[in-house]
């Protein structure tokens, strides 16, 4: 493989990996559906999920859109809790209150999706707690007593 083709392939793969699969383009619109509401059978509640139905979480240490889940020398928060990031204008899907949908800048410049000023995250699992792999999984709910799913009104759901 030529050096140029290899560099191009690496660049394309890198770009693809950096684009969040949670946002999906909507027919001809420049805005993207970032969130929707889904009924969760385990919690017996309607919760905020991404466009593909995967569960999203908020971190109680983050208020008014301030991001505190970052990687540092002592803890790699983002490996466990990857942020829902997006580029461009967003709109809510089924059941989302668009007035609660927003974005905040993360350290390093990425734009993270927020709902009711809560930055949103996925759960990759930690220790013996498995990752959320499919729509409906809520393995991160109540994790450490500080991670919660959100209701359609943007309030944390505090039961399991």
Report pLDDT digits (tens) over 96-118: 999 999 999 999 999 999 999 99
List C-alpha distances in Å: 159 to 9, 21, 131, 145, 154: 46, 28, 19, 10, 15
Give the residue extent of every domain in the chain.
Answer: 22-157
Biggest alpha carbon distance in the chain? 56
State the pLDDT at residue 96: 97
143: closest CA among 116, 160, 155?
A: 160
CA atoms of 31 and 14, how far apart (whole Å):
23
- pLDDT, mean of each 10-residue run, the chain (160 residues): 38 34 36 91 98 98 94 94 94 96 95 97 98 98 98 97
Rounded (5°) CA angle 54-60-63: 105
Contacts of 114 by beta carbon, 8 Å cutoff, 6+ apart = 65, 101, 102, 103, 104, 120
Give the number of other CB atoms < 10 A from CB of residue 51: 21
Report pLDDT digits (tens) over 79-101: 999 999 999 889 999 999 999 99
Contacts of 28 by beta carbon, 8 Å cutoff, 6+ apart = none
């Amino acid at each position: 493989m030529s050096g140029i083709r290899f560099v191009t392939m690496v660049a394309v793969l890198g770009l693809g990996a950096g684009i969040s699969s949670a946002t999906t383009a909507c027919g001809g619109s420049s805005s993207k559906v970032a969130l929707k509401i889904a009924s969760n059978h385990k919690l017996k509640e309607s919760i905020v999920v991404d466009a593909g139905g995967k569960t999203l979480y908020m971190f109680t240490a983050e208020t008014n859109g301030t991001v505190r889940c970052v990687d540092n020398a002592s803890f790699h928060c983002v490996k466990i809790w990857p942020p829902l990031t997006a580029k461009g204008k967003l709109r809510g899907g089924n059941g989302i209150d668009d007035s609660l949908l927003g974005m905040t800048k993360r350290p390093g410049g990425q734009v993270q999706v927020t709902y009711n000023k809560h930055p949103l995250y996925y759960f990759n699992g930690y220790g013996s707690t498995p990752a959320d792999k499919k729509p409906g999984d809520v393995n991160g709910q109540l994790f450490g007593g500080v991670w919660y799913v959100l209701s359609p009104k943007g309030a944390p759901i505090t039961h399991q």
